[in-house]
Amino acid sequence: MTDDPSHPAEKLRTAVVGATGYAGFELVRLLLRHPRLETPLLLARDGNSPAGRLDEHYPELKGQTPLPLEPFSWARLEDGGVRILFLATPHELSRELAPEALARGLRVVDLSGAWRLKDPRNRAVYAFEDQDPASARRWDAEAVYGLPELHRDSVRDAKLVANPGCYATSVILGLAPLARAGLIDRSAGVICDCKSGVSGAGKKPTSKTHFVEVAGNFSAYSVFGHRHTGEILEQTGLAAQELVFTPHLLPIPRGILSTLHVRLQRAVAAESIERLYQEAYAAERFIRLFGSGALPQIQHSLYTNHCDLGFQLSPDGRRLVVISCLDNLMKGAAGQAVQNMNLMCGFDEGAGLQ
């Protein structure tokens, strides 16, 4: 499907599995306002779940379009004329559902980490036990890493898009221009000091995300062991020993701020760094460049699909700090998923995201 002004716009039917989670609900909210989509079909994670409505989980939807939650069924997807399936599901379930969906002719946008990684050493952190290893290997190879600013042409033709992780998106977009220009002094290592709101941990409550533990607190976690590390390595070309990625939990609902510390191969001027980012991202509608010394803040990217980038260069021109901010539920999850769908369907890339 592509935009064609000579023909009436055909509306596309999508489905979401996992709409009751934070990212799933944000995704449904975006799909409902998308001008090229029918009301999405919402399916529970398994066929035994009782029927219900999404407004029972999110009362802010009361009085709007009825959004029934139906038990999962392949027949229901077929009967509903679904063409794009969004999986806002746990990694293991996405690993199970995606190959079957693809075999049935659906295109898939997966918000989990099931298909993001090409290197088996990086993927080992998930410890997947695939029912059909041959099929899994095929889709590991064919899945497209859904970061449009880096892989737009591949996303357009993809059958399976692996939506990037939220931390990974913020770090990769911040480092990519430097990595591609060969400016990073890899012998000095890159330090990614990243902070996220609590919604990044998902909706399922844990002792670490309890209000009493989070409010008035600030903590590091998954040091040298976070699942997004492999994404950063694969997309920037850095080796594991060249990267320190430390995530932290902020006592706020949503948002990410990543502080990226880079030593440069040679002394450069701030104007050169600014020009490098302009060449990489000036045409990107969802990247906002703040320029030298103007540093983004979480509050400015909340509830948008933007990634905000700014930097500060040391007086000697060799040490660079890049600040990258985004909303972990939008550009870090649901917004990016819609951006990818727009590319896959030939819609305007910003449809439903303005």
Cα three-residue angle 136-137-143, rounded to 5 degrees:
80
Q: What is the pLDDT of residue 49?
A: 66
Predicted TM-score (pTM) of the model is 0.94
What six digits make up the tokens of 4?
């064609």
User: Domains of the chain (ranges plus CATH)?
Assistant: 14-164+333-345 (3.40.50.720), 166-329 (3.30.360.10)
Per-residue pLDDT of the chain (354 residues; tens, 9 = 90+): 555 544 446 899 999 999 999 999 999 999 999 999 999 999 998 766 666 888 888 888 887 777 999 999 999 999 999 999 999 999 999 999 999 999 999 999 999 999 999 999 999 999 999 999 999 999 999 999 999 999 999 999 999 999 999 999 999 999 999 999 999 999 999 999 999 999 888 777 788 888 888 889 999 999 999 999 999 999 999 999 999 999 999 999 999 999 999 999 999 999 999 999 999 999 999 999 998 889 999 999 999 999 999 999 999 999 999 999 999 999 999 999 999 999 999 999 999 998
> Per-residue b/e over 198-217, b at no fewer than 16 CB within 10 Å?
bbbbeeeeeeebeeeebeee
**Alpha-carbon span 313 to 88, nearest angstrom:** 39
What ranges in the chain are assigned the alpha helix state H? 22-32, 74-79, 91-103, 120-123, 133-142, 148-157, 166-180, 211-214, 229-236, 270-281, 298-301, 335-345
Pairing of strands 41-43, 68-70: parallel
Position 2 scores a pLDDT of 53
- pLDDT at res. 7: 45
113 in Cβ contact with 91 (< 8 Å): yes
In degrees rounded to 5, what are phi and psi of residue 167?
Answer: -60, -45
Helix (H, G, I), strand (E, B) or coil at 48: coil
Place of tokens 């992780």: 165
166 in catalytic set: yes
